[in-house]
Structure 1
Amino acid sequence: MAIFEPLAAPNHWKPSALAAGPFPGLQGGAVASLLAAEVEAMASRRNWGTAISAAAWFLRPTPMAELRTQLAVVTEGGRISVVDNTLWPVGEDEPCATVRVTLARERAVEVPGFREQAADAIDPSQFPLRSPHAVHGRSWFMDAMEARAGGDAAWFRMRDNVIAGAGPLAGVLGPADWTHGIGRPVQNVVADPNPNLTVQLFRSPRGAWVGVRAETSWRPEAGLGVGSGVLLDVYGEIGRVSMSVILVPFSRTVPA
């Protein structure tokens, strides 16, 4: 099962209940994953190489409605390509989110004396299971993944693809979007949506598990914060994540 199903018109999508966030609208990580997955699919056809980073901006809440996307190539050729992908509800002119994806063709470089450290694989399925529920009590994006916590990281394994054939970066963005919540300095006090999300990868994850070693800093007097973390697979580090955080009272409706 895919979290977003294609409609008859090109670049039109219907979100399932698993795309929902904890507040009205869709989860930002689900939206960013959809947009990145479309770029990765185009990259495989255009020989752009591997998606190495995504910078997402959540401009307003994305409704549980039919959606359309539009890709725009910023630059193409040589070793690096950059592609934007933007999302709107069908029938509306104001966008809800946009993602800029950077892609690179891999090319081996000899560095004398450099040796990548080998690490034994860990098994996150042995860590305690976490099953957080949304405040609305319905299905949401967290239900699309298995979540566990152990050692110094939180671990996620997607049960459902964001779209059929989604690429590695799309599979990382969903778990990465929880970073600021994993490292909250105080729990259950305020809502802390992230209006943006940035992920950089230096290699694709091996296996289905994505881990986040997270930290978050808040500045309540300004209602602001940041979240960041090291991204992992079962063999070690694969990249980094960061986002801004907006602190608001629970009573307000906030973007997911």
Structure 2
Amino acid sequence: MAIFELVGANRWQPTPLAAGPFAGLQGGAVASLLTAEIEALAPARKWGTAIASSAWFLRPTPMTGLRTQLSVVTEGGRVSVIDNTLWPVDDDQPCATVRVTLSRERAVDVPGFTEPVGAVADPTRFPIRTRRAAHGRPWFMEAMEAREGDGVAWFRMNQAVIDGAGSLSKAPLSAVLGPADWTHGIARPFQDVVADPNPDLTVQLFRQPAGEWVGIRAQARWRPAAGLGTGSGVLLDIHGEIGRVSMSVILVPFPPQMKSAPAEGLAPASN
């Protein structure tokens, strides 16, 4: 089962695993859907490999039927740039949009340069971490396995974002976006005091990930007096660095009914 099911041309039905911790869908799930749709079209359109995605979450995306629309900004040559926007099927106000950069890889000979070789990481040696959503129902975190240790949070998607694509092997960038969306929560300075939604998400890859695991070495900075912050991090696979992630953070009080909700980030697995 995919996290989003195709129900018609550019029409999608989210499953419960697309939900966020409060109301609506998780931003990382939405960004993954929009990017996966572009990656699925890339081979036929000869756009190359997706190397960067910038998402803007314009308003909460409801758990309802959704429609998307792609727009080509530029294509041809070595670099293509494609936009994709999301609406509820019965609403004219968009919920989110992404801009994806794709490139045809071309080897460049640099005398004296060799690819760095490091030790292969084994995320399975760290404990599994889980977190329940405030609403108590299934949500996006359950679409992945999470582990944490030595300053790195590791994620392995166990569901495809969309049928036929959206896995790390078939749509690498979209599969990275879901884990990357947790960056600001992994390193949040304080727990259980405020909610910290991110209105945007940017991921850039200089190397395609190998294997099933995506790691994040995260950091976050808050300025409570302004209600603002940032999250950023180094992205890794088991062989080393693959890119970077960054997002803005908006600090808001927990709704009264959510005061006891667990904070963003990862909590130890409960048995």
| TM tier relative to shorter chain | over 0.9
The residue aligned with 1:152 is 151
The residue aligned with 1:178 is 182
- What value does the CA root-mean-square deviation take over the aligned residues? 1.3
CA offset digits 1:166-191 (Å, max 9, x no partner): 20001000000000000101111100
Among candidates 203, 206, 209, match of residue 207 of structure 2: 203
CA offset digits 1:18-52 (Å, max 9, x no partner): 00001100000000000000000111111111000
**AA partner of residue 233 (structure 2):** G
CA distance in 1, matches of 2:229, 2:122: 32
Does 2:111 correspond to 1:107?
no
Extract unaligned runs of 5+ from structure 2.
Answer: 259-263, 265-271
The residue aligned with 1:118 is 117
CA distance in 2, matches of 1:253, 1:12: 33
CA distance in 2, matches of 1:30, 1:111: 38
Percent of aligned pairs with the same residue? 70
The residue aligned with 2:29 is 30
- 3-state secondary structure, aligned to 1:185: coil
Note the C-alpha offset of 1:252: 7.1
Extract unaligned runs of 5+ from structure 1.
Answer: none
CA offset digits 1:85-110 (Å, max 9, x no partner): 00000011000000000000000001
- 3-state secondary structure, aligned to 2:120: coil
Note the C-alpha offset of 1:212: 0.3
- 3-state secondary structure, aligned to 2:253: coil
CA distance in 2, matches of 1:225, 1:253: 24
CA distance in 2, matches of 1:23, 1:135: 6
Among candidates 249, 254, 257, match of residue 250 of structure 1: 254
Q: 1:198 to 1:252 in 2, by over 3 A?
A: farther
Q: Is the 8 A contact 1:24 1:253 kept in 2?
A: no
The residue aligned with 2:13 is 14
Instruction: Name the TM-score, length of structure 2 as normaliser.
Output: 0.92
Among candidates 163, 168, 173, match of residue 169 of structure 1: 173
Does 2:3 correspond to 1:3?
yes
Task: Pick which of 119-128 and 234-243 moved more.
Answer: 119-128
CA distance in 2, matches of 1:203, 1:149: 23
Q: Is the 8 A contact 1:214 1:230 kept in 2?
A: yes
CA distance in 2, matches of 1:73, 1:203: 24
The residue aligned with 2:228 is 224
CA distance in 2, matches of 1:187, 1:221: 17
Instruction: Name the TM-score, length of structure 1 as normaliser.
Output: 0.97
CA offset digits 1:141-168 (Å, max 9, x no partner): 0000000001110000001011122200
CA distance in 1, matches of 2:3, 2:47: 26
- 3-state secondary structure, aligned to 2:246: strand
- 3-state secondary structure, aligned to 1:65: coil
CA distance in 2, matches of 1:2, 1:121: 29
CA offset digits 1:110-169 (Å, max 9, x no partner): 111111111221110110110111111111000000000011100000010111222000
- 3-state secondary structure, aligned to 1:139: coil
The residue aligned with 1:70 is 69
- 3-state secondary structure, aligned to 2:154: strand
- Which 4+ residue blocks in structure 1 deviate beyond 6 angstroms? none
